[in-house]
Amino acid sequence: MKLYISEICRELEFPQEAAEAMLSAWDALEQCGQSEVYRRILAEYEQDYNRNLRSGIKEVDEAAAAAKVNRYTAELLLFLLLTRPLRIYYENRGIPMEIWHDSCMDLHWKLMECRQIHGVWGSFVAWWFPGFFDLTRFALGRFQFELIDFPAEYEASGRTKPEGMTRAINVHIPSCGPLKREECLESYHQAAEFFADAFPGENVAFCCESWLLFEPHREFLAADSGIVTFMNDYDIFLQEKSDDDLWRVFHCEYHGEPETLPEDTQLQKAYKAWLAAGKEPGYGYGIFYKNK
């Protein structure tokens, strides 16, 4: 098991210190017999990829407490181990290994977020991972995608959807770098091809709920910025005020005091000035259509 932990940490480009933290956690779990919890969950997942992994997270939390291992580390370790049977599921379905690798790289992005926010090698959003492991969410280029029912809020906002459109491709944006226009377009193209069977007509629908789709960005970000050009693709039909996602901008928790926030990037400087002026952050929900 330790050999695979080392191998997958290397394949997913974990910093050496993070890999050592995963191996140390496994040693602690082994020493007090709690590694059997992981082995049982792995065996159940190998039999059925629809195994309820969210309940597995709760079991791992109990094992972590008994072994005195940080729960964020223990939770990420579980999904690292699950990447091995996930690879077999991909192979059996003929899904390219590049997609397996790119999808599993979400463990890397979440690892780095956890280190930035909490100072721990692990993940504080392990509840998010099961979508990759039940074969419903996939990384296809720059973005991650999954099929969902067409959102009812769209027509409730007064829009009209294409006749017969019952599904949409939900878009997720991992924190793996800037939003380069050509990479975004290529990612949408890959997703349209991957999920084409869900759309009998000529168009596919992409939807996204994100802090990136906050209309006031146009007031304080450059028109040619990656965020604004990303927004331009979408008909943003719903807006809400919320500061829940400011940690994604500042890499720290926000407690309502703009003066304490860092200014290490242009985005942080612009957002900090916006908040200091008494303005509220938020998020948006948008849809756009693309020809197959």
Domain assignment present for 170:
yes
Q: Can you give the pLDDT at residue 111?
A: 98
Range of the domain at 26: 2-118
Same domain, 191 and 219: yes
DSSP for residue 172: E
Residue 241 has pLDDT above 90, yes or no: yes
- Counting residues of the chain whose pLDDT is more than 90, the rounded percentage is 98
The answer to whether residue 205 sits within a structural domain is: yes
Question: Is the pLDDT at 102 greater than 90, yes or no?
Answer: yes
62, 89, 118 — which closes off a domain? 118
Q: Is the pLDDT of residue 191 over 90?
A: yes
Q: Of 90, 118, 146, which residue is a domain's last? A: 118
How high is the pLDDT of residue 98? 98
Quick one: pLDDT band at residue 77, thresholds 50, 70, 90? very high
Predicted TM-score (pTM) above 0.75: yes
- The number of folded domains in the chain is 2
Judged against a pLDDT cut of 90, whether residue 171 lies above it is answered with yes
Summary mean pLDDT of the chain: 97
Question: What's the confidence (pLDDT) of residue 137?
Answer: 98
Report pLDDT for 292. 82
Q: Please compute the mean of the pLDDT values over residues 148-176 and round it to a whole number.
A: 96
Query: Do the beta carbons of residue 236 and residue 207 sit within 8 Å?
Result: no
Mean pLDDT of 210-218: 97
In whole angstroms, what is the distance from residue 245 CA to residue 271 CA?
A: 12
Write the pLDDT tens digit of every residue in 137-155.
999 999 999 999 999 999 9
Residue 132 lies in a domain: no
Residue 192, domain CATH = 3.40.630.120
Share of the chain above pLDDT 70, in %: 100
| 100 and 169 co-located in one domain | no
- Characterize 1-40 residue by residue with b for buried, 16 or more Cβ atoms within 10 angstroms of its Cβ, and e for exposed: eeeebeebbeebebeeebbebbbebbebbeeeebbebbee
User: Is 198 part of a structural domain of the chain?
Assistant: yes
Q: 26 and 105 share a domain?
A: yes
Identify whether residues 62 and 144 lie together within a single domain: no
Looking at the structure, tell me whether residues 111 and 182 fall in a common domain: no
Based on the domain organization, do 94 and 148 belong to the same domain?
A: no
pLDDT, mean of residues 22-47: 98
